[in-house]
Amino acid sequence: MQDYHEFLAEVLISENDLQRRISELADEINRDYNGEDLILVCILRGGIVFLTDLMRRITIPHTLDFMVVSSYMVGARQSSGQARITLDLRTDIYNQNVLLIEDIIDSGYTLRAVLDLLRTRKPKSLDVCVLLDKVERREVDVPVRYRGFIIPDKFVFGYGLDVDEYYRNLTFVGALDTQKYHPED
């Protein structure tokens, strides 16, 4: 395992900036869903770190559920353009307010697939809260209600985002120097 310092091109978003922005997002959510019940649906695995920080700042009643969507192959740095739902919700979302919690939108295929599926179950509301948005990479349109940061077209890791499944635990978002990353080490 390489030490991440060897391939960290730059810290794109610091721990402080992440925490400050997540507080703002939680404030908005608390205001918008005031008096309503809410289900936070985290898209695993990348969304987990964002979820846990965000939910601890959400003061309105809410429940949690999880989905697993696979779109990236290990080793691939590009979206495959296909998203497969490999773990579905346990909650019945009919007539419920659903807020999807996701780490990043790149092409948009992952969230598109999730939204298309969940909409068929007739929730009362269905919205997206995403931490990072690579807007210039978008291939399919996704409506985003809460957005943490718009980021440039760089492969990023940390704060839930992986490089070949590792480094999700870092407290900041870093950009990967692909020349200096060696997966076989």
Q: Which residues are known catalytic residues?
A: 106
Q: Which residues of 78-102 are buried (b: 16+ CB within 10 A; e: fewer)?
A: ebeeebebeeebeeebeebbbbbbb
Residue 133 interface partner, choices Mg ion, ligand IMP, none, CB cut-off 5-8 Å depending on type: none
Determine how many CB atoms are found less than 10 A away from the CB of residue 62: 16
| CB-count exposure of residue 70 (10 Å: 0-12, 13-18, 19+) | middle
Chain residues in the site for ligand IMP (CB under 6 A): 46, 71-72, 79, 83, 102-110, 155-157, 161-162
Instruction: Pick between residue 46 and residue 174 the one whose CB is nearest to Mg ion.
Output: 46
Beta strand 156-157 with 97-105: parallel, antiparallel or unpaired?
unpaired
Pick between residue 30 and residue 147 the one whose CB is nearest to ligand IMP: 147
CB of 23 to ligand IMP, least distance (A): 23
Nearer to ligand IMP, 108 or 123 (CB): 108
Q: Could you tell me the CA-to-CA distances from 67 to 61, 90, 122, 160 in Å, in that order? A: 20, 9, 17, 15
Q: Which of residues 9-48 bind Mg ion (CB under 5 A)?
A: 46
Q: How far is the CB of 115 from ligand IMP (least distance, A)?
A: 12
CB of 46 to Mg ion, least distance (A): 3
Residue 108 contacts Mg ion per CB under 5 A: no
Q: Residue 4 touches which of ligand IMP, Mg ion, none (CB < 5 to 8 A by kind)?
A: none
Could you tell me which residues come within 8 angstroms of residue 108 by beta carbon, excluding any fewer than 6 positions away? 138, 139, 140, 141, 142
Query: What is residue 178's three-state secondary structure?
Result: coil
Looking at beta carbons only, is 46 or 123 nearer to Mg ion? 46
Q: Work out how close the CB of 124 gets to Mg ion at its nearest, in angstroms, rounded to a whole number.
A: 25
Q: Are 83 and 118 in contact (CB under 8 A)?
A: no
First to last CA, the chain: 6
Interaction partner, residue 131 (Mg ion, ligand IMP, none; CB < 5-8 Å by kind) = none
Residues that bind Mg ion (CB under 5 A): 46, 103
